[in-house]
Amino acid sequence: MKKTIVTLSFILVCTVILFAQANSPAASKVRGKKVYETYCLACHQVDGMGVPNMNPPLSKTSWVTGDKTKLIQVILKGFAQSVPIDGEDYSNNMAPHNFLKDQEIADVLTYIRSSFGNKSSAITAAEVKAVRAKTK
Amino acid sequence: MKKNMIRLGSLLTAIVFCSSSWACTGDSTRHEGGDAATAVTPDANNAGLKLPAGFGALKIIDNIGRPRHIVVNSKGEVYIKEFRLKDGKGIYLLRDTNGDGKVDTKVGFGNYNGTGIVIKNGYLYASSDEEVFRYKLDANENVIDTAHPEKIITGLKKGRQHETKSIVLDDAGNIYVNIGAYSNSCQEVDRGKGSKGIMPCPILDSAGGIWRFKADKLNQTYGDGTRYATGLRNVVGLDWNTQANQLFVMQHGRDGLFQMFPEYYNEKQSAELPAECLYALKEGDNAGWPYIYYDQQQKKKMLAPEYGGDGKKSVDDKYIDPVYAFPGHLAPNGLLFYTGNMFPEKYRNGAFIAFHGSWNRAPEPQKGFFVAFVPFKNGKPSGEWEIFADNFAGKEDIASPGQAEHRPCGLAQGPDGSLYVTDDTKGAVYRIVYKK
């Protein structure tokens, strides 16, 4: 009986640790890099510097390091407005990426917010879910 | 004594001047041109450019905003069109007053952003992203009234992308204007993964082609002009070939074959395809965008994946073939047929193309950032292309276009046959010369 309790406890602890790791910002960032390479890199480039006049940089821009809701909405709705980004115009349209799962969006945003010289906090799947529910 | 001093001074000047072999060509015409030789001295290390043997380069000016297209008047003075206003001005006249090739004075005018600038029949023509203006020139080809240009074309479509208007004139009183398609491939969702193409593409009624207008009529718009050629996604570099008496254009080919249709293309194919195409246009021609693209490896026109293509289905129909095809995504921003006498015979009547440099090759390394050359005979390409002026980027491996130090954009020929190249990143203007 005692043995069973120890075993069960061990399994429980392991599960908690694994679960915690899977949802740690570090693990999210690792997964986010893969998402970035698949869906973002072609335009925003390997160094996150974007393309002058065409695709905005992700490095040290207020759109990436600032308000999470606004950033999550760019992924969900794309970007096709004539709005200057930190004073510069960028011409290429970004298609909506709402086909990505909440966790994938959280991962890729966690990645870009902590890469290319950025040092902003992680974004969770729950935060993406909440914004998605309010975004039409 | 005074006379002796002057003589000594002259001698010293001559020694200093002649210590550069470049300067001692015995050409007294200097910057007035007309002779094959030139008196200007290239910069140390040719301003960082790599050139064929016998050529040299100097920066005539640096940090002059973001110059796009460029034209040199009959006196060797340079006009540049700024992409974005520099100190409130959209055009600069650059003058070298002492003949050393370097700009000594500059005059800014025009309050609009843009790309196109050209001189023809006593007028300077310049374009914003929606209009074309012209300024009357005096006998020295200087603008008489910089504040009051005539607006000859207005109301052109300006989308978020491919918004610039390039211009060129023929010898029959017509001006040709590129109106770029405000889309990558006319998908239902622009740049959307797997999104279908709209059939027929509605953009083509007012963009995605070259429009022809009268060079001397005021306030023309779509109804006054003719859609001269269609199915051209975006043209930045264009020129009138006087041997063929024909308009030639360089198209910026579509992006993202792999990103949009990974089931048909891999990243390497997507980095090389489609070709950047040089087209010789006749009235009524259709180059096929967005329905087709040109594959320079298979040497075929291919059905675009948005319209049922899969990288294998070719088409052979009403769409014209390019007269020359370059690797993908190099971004041809300047085209110039060389008619000068300074450069060696092989360059005569050939095409120089300024490739701005790619971005859509990622994650493959980027390419371009050079001026290429294609020899021509009787108005047709007569040999393979080669890199003419290289290393604008300042280093070999460019992973992302923001890493390029300079990016070549506009081309112009000086009256002495020098080739001028603008850089719209740091604002350098290069002059490339040849020594016999």
In one-letter notation, the amino acid at residue A57 is: P
Q: Which two tokens stand for residue B146?
A: 């910089």
Q: Which of A46, A50, A91 sits opposite B161 (nearest CB)?
A: A91
| E-strand stretches of B62-198 | 67-72, 78-86, 89-95, 105-109, 117-120, 123-127, 132-136, 150-153, 167-169, 174-179
Query: Following CA atoms B256, B261, B262, B264 in sequence, which dihedral angle do they give, to the nearest 10 degrees?
Result: -110
Range(s) of the domain holding residue A42: 25-134
DSSP state for residue B297 in the 8-state scheme? T
The answer to the question of residue A70 being in a domain is yes
- B363–A contact, CB cutoff 8 A: yes
- B163–A contact, CB cutoff 8 A: yes
The answer to the question of residue A59 being in a domain is yes
The answer to whether B102 touches B95, Cβ cutoff 8 Å, is no
Q: Give me the pLDDT at residue A88, please.
A: 86
Judged against a pLDDT cut of 70, whether residue B247 lies above it is answered with yes
- Scanning every residue of chain A, which has its alpha carbon at the shortest distance from the alpha carbon of B360? A42
The answer to the question of residue A99 being in a domain is yes
- B357–A contact, CB cutoff 8 A: no
The answer to the question of residue A18 being in a domain is no
Other C-beta atoms within 10 Å of B7: how many? 10
- Scanning every residue of chain A, which has its alpha carbon at the shortest distance from the alpha carbon of B158? A91
The total number of structural domains that make up chain A: 1
Q: DSSP letters along A55-111, please?
A: B---TT-HHHHS-HHHHHHHHHH-B-----BTTB-----B---TTS-HHHHHHHHHH
The answer to whether B311 touches B265, Cβ cutoff 8 Å, is yes
> Quick check: helix, strand or coil at residue B61?
strand
Q: Which residue of A35, A41, A46 to mutate against B (max B Cβ within 10 Å)? A: A46
pLDDT digits (tens, 9 = 90+) for B384-427: 999 999 999 999 999 999 999 999 999 999 999 999 999 999 99
CATH of the domain at A32: 1.10.760.10
Q: Give me the pLDDT at residue B28, please.
A: 35
Domain boundaries, chain B: 31-434
pLDDT digits (tens, 9 = 90+) for A71-98: 999 999 999 988 888 888 899 999 999 9
pLDDT above 70 covers a percentage of chain B that reads 91
Q: Which of B191, B363, B399 sits opposite A95 (nearest CB)?
A: B191
Query: Following CA atoms B141, B142, B147, B152 in sequence, which dihedral angle do they give, to the nearest 10 degrees?
Result: 10
Superfamily of domain B31-434: TolB, C-terminal domain (2.120.10.30)
Could you give phi then psi for residue B409, rounded to 5 degrees?
-135, -70
Q: Give me the pLDDT at residue A135, please.
A: 87
DSSP state for residue B187 in the 8-state scheme? B
Query: What CA–CA distance (Å, rounded) separates A9 from B425?
Result: 62
pLDDT digits (tens, 9 = 90+) for B142-194: 999 999 999 999 999 999 999 999 999 999 999 999 999 999 999 999 999 99
Residue with tokens 């140390």: B44
> Quick check: helix, strand or coil at residue B42?
coil
Q: Which of A47, A51, A82 sits opposite B160 (nearest CB)?
A: A82
The number of helices, as runs of H, and strands, as runs of E, in chain A is 7, 0
In one-letter notation, the amino acid at residue B416 is: D
- B193–A contact, CB cutoff 8 A: yes
ipTM confidence: 0.84
